[in-house]
């Protein structure tokens, strides 16, 4: 079964035509040609028998010649020997002719159809000696029996061609819709106008509606979160200022709370910005990893960068977003572990960044939760690890999705901690 729509549609279209033609050809050849050939041969047999009887009665061919000539049949007594029963392999009706002559004419020793395709040459044993009989082939079988088949094949090919062109025009809107949907899955809004058959058009409109709704929701989320974060920042700064001038035992603690709130607001803004309107550009995937690792090192992380795979180093992506996603993963590694390894796998169709650490990791059943926004696992354990909103992994996931990829969490074999794989489609 072909995998593509073209192949399948063509198969659905062509198979019945070909089968129909084959069936008709076989039935037609068997019934029609055989019957016609048989009838024609039978009627000629009457003339042949009469001529042979006349030759036997006269003991010579000469008295019979005028009649034979009138019937357009050549007679010769004691002529050159005719060799066996021969016909060309494609000469279907020839088989019937030979069969009929052998069966219904006494004393036939040879029928040769191959010597001259337009003549029948046969030899009959008579009481006057071996009689050679020759006549035109069209006396016994319909001429050019393959004409019908050739015509059928030619028309069939022509119709198939027409069908193919028509089909291609019908399938194009579907492939266009698929392309637009795939592009949107990778975070690109490409111009698309529904066209084609009603059903395809309906699917196209549904896709456009869906896309518009998602866009609207994203815009709303962006506005809401950035608005709230922005508005909260001013009173928070005022609070901080006030606290820095206040005195007392609790001030230090309150300042820590305010700092944490500030970090959270930064997190919100980051989350909102993760799919901001950055253009995808070709960048060096390894250099990008080095850059992120370097920044993490400056923040105190222990990171080594490895490279694997033989794919192209250049990949088209939104560099800032991917850097943010990787920074989040490294940030987690630093927060929950002591050292981290960042590996870049260059594949043919994707690039995979893997961040592994030597921390406690995440239990398998909690990994899905960890990916959700605003989720922090194991609050008690996290308390002393510094502020976090639970957005780091969610942002990384968003970025991966926007690049037609995904974020997978697992267990690091080498280091024993968490293994986070950020897969980006090329
Ligand atoms: N490398 C890791 N090792 C162990 N647990 C992890 C690791 N990375 C994430 N987690 C767990 O998954 C939860 C969600 O992580 P995520 O990065 O989304 O949020 P966060 O690190 O708590 O906060 P943020 O990243 O927004 O500052 C964390 O609270 C933590 O419990
Ligand atoms: Mg984090």
Residue 201, SS3 per DSSP: helix
Q: Do the Cβ atoms of 33 and 93 come closer than 8 Å?
A: yes
CB within 8 A of 146, min separation 6: which ones?
90
> Residues 180-200: what's their mean pLDDT?
89
Query: What pLDDT shows up at residue 383?
Result: 55
Q: Is the CB of 378 under 6 A from ligand 1?
A: yes
Is the pTM higher than 0.95? The answer reads no
Q: How far is the CA of 352 from the centre of ligand 2 (A)?
A: 19
Contact between 142 and 4 under an 8 Å Cβ cutoff? The reply is no
Q: What is the mean pLDDT of residues 97-109?
A: 90
Residue 169 has pLDDT above 60, yes or no: yes
CA gap 373, 397 in Å, rounded? 10
pLDDT at 143: 66
User: In this prediction, what percent of the chain has a pLDDT beyond 70?
Assistant: 96
Among 95-104, 197-206, 351-360, the minimum mean pLDDT is found in 95-104
Ligand 1 atom with the shortest distance to the CA of 378: 31
Tell me the percentage of the chain whose pLDDT exceeds 90: 49
Tell me the pLDDT tens digit for each residue of 225-280: 888 888 898 999 999 999 989 888 888 888 888 988 888 888 778 777 755 567 78
Instruction: Using alpha carbons, list the distances in angstroms from residue 248 to 227, 243, 253, 262, 386.
Output: 33, 10, 10, 22, 23
At residue 267, the pLDDT reads: 77
- Give the number of whichever ligand sits closest to the CA of residue 333: 1
Q: Given this model, what pLDDT does residue 43 score?
A: 93
Inform me whether the pLDDT recorded for 385 exceeds 70. no
Tell how many helices (H) and how many strands (E) occur in the chain: 12, 12
Angle (CA) 60 61 63, round 5°: 95
Q: Write the pLDDT tens digit of every residue in 390-424.
A: 888 998 998 898 888 999 999 999 999 999 999 99
How far is the centre of ligand 2, averaged over its atoms, from the C-alpha of 242 (Å)? 30
Alpha carbon of 354 to ligand 2 centroid (Å)? 15
pLDDT at 264: 82
pLDDT at residue number 379 = 61
For the range 262-267, what are the long-range contacts, defined as Cβ-Cβ under 8 Å and sequence gap of 24 or more? 262/233, 262/236, 263/387, 263/388, 263/389, 264/387, 264/389, 265/229, 265/232, 265/233, 265/236, 267/388, 267/389, 267/391, 267/392
Beta bridge partners of 124: 108, 131
- Of 135-149, 157-171, 283-297, least confident by mean pLDDT is 135-149
Confidence (pLDDT) at 63:
93
Q: Mean pLDDT across the stretch 174-179?
A: 94
Q: State the average pLDDT over residues 159-167.
A: 88
Residue 387 has a pLDDT of: 58
**pLDDT of 249:** 83
pLDDT category, 26, cuts 50, 70, 90? Answer: confident
Could you say which DSSP state residue 279 is in? P
Which residues make Cβ contacts (< 8 Å) with residue 147, sequence separation at least 6?
none
pLDDT of residue 256: 87
Most confident of 28-32, 89-93, 117-121, 274-278: 117-121
Mean predicted lDDT score pLDDT of the chain: 88
> What mean pLDDT comes out for the span 304-322?
91
Which domains does the chain possess? 5-139 (no CATH), 278-425 (3.30.565.10)
Pairwise CA distance, residues 280 & 301, whole Å = 28
pLDDT tops 80 at residue 30: no
User: What span, in angstroms and rounded, lies between the C-alpha atoms of 390 and 401?
Assistant: 18
Contact 108, 102 (CB under 8 A): yes
pLDDT at site 277: 62
User: For a substitution probing ligand 1, which of 271, 381, 392 has the most ligand atoms within 8 Å of its CB?
Assistant: 392
Question: Residue 144's pLDDT is what?
Answer: 65
Highest mean predicted confidence (pLDDT) among 121-130, 138-147, 201-210: 201-210
Pocket test for ligand 1, best of 365, 388, 400, 416 (most atoms within 8 A of CB): 388
Which residue's alpha carbon is at the smallest distance from atom 17 of ligand 1? Answer: 392
Range in 24-28, 65-69, 230-234, 418-422 with the lowest mean pLDDT: 24-28
Q: Is the distance from CB of 279 to CB of 320 less than 8 angstroms? A: no
Return the ligand number nearest the Cα of 412: 1
């Amino acid at each position: 079964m072909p995998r593509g729509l073209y192949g399948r549609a063509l198969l659905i279209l062509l198979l019945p035509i070909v089968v129909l033609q084959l069936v008709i050809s076989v039935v037609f050849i068997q019934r029609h040609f055989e019957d016609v050939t048989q009838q024609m041969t039978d009627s000629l047999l009457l003339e042949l028998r009469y001529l042979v009887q006349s030759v036997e009665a006269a003991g010579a061919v000469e008295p019979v010649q005028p009649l034979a000539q009138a019937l357009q049949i050549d007679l010769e007594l004691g002529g050159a020997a005719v060799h066996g029963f021969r016909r060309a392999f494609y000469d279907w009706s020839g088989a019937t002719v030979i069969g009929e002559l052998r069966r219904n004419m006494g004393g036939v020793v040879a029928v040769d159809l191959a010597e001259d395709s337009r003549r029948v040459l046969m030899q009959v044993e008579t009481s006057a000696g071996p009689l050679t009989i020759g006549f035109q082939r069209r006396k016994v079988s319909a001429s050019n029996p393959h004409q019908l088949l050739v015509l059928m094949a030619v028309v069939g090919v022509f119709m198939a061609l027409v069908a193919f062109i028509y089909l291609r025009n019908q399938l194009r809107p579907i492939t266009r819709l698929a392309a637009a949907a795939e592009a949107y899955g990778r975070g690109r809004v490409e111009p698309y106008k529904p066209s084609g058959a009603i059903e395809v058009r309906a699917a196209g409109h549904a896709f456009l509606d869906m896309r518009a709704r998602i866009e609207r929701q994203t815009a709303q989320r962006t506005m809401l979160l950035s608005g709230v974060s922005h508005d909260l920042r001013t009173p928070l700064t005022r609070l901080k200022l006030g606290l820095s001038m206040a005195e007392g035992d609790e001030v230090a603690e309150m300042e820590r709370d305010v700092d944490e709130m500030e970090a959270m607001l930064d997190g919100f803004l980051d989350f909102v910005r993760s799919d901001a309107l950055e253009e995808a550009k070709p960048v060096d995937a390894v250099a990008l990893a080095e850059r992120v690792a370097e920044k993490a090192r400056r923040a105190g992380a222990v990171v080594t960068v490895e490279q694997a795979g033989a794919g192209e180093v250049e990949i088209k992506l939104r560099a800032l977003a991917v850097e943010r996603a990787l920074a989040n993963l490294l940030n987690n590694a630093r927060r929950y572990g002591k050292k981290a390894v960042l590996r870049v796998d260059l594949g043919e169709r994707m690039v995979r960044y893997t961040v592994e650490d030597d921390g406690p990791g995440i239990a398998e059943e909690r990994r899905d939760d960890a990916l959700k926004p605003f989720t922090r696992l194991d609050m008690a354990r996290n308390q002393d690890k510094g502020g976090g909103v639970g957005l780091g992994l969610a942002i990384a996931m968003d970025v991966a999705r926007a690049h037609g990829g995904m974020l997978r969490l697992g267990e690091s074999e080498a280091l024993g901690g968490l293994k986070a794989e950020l897969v980006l489609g090329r």
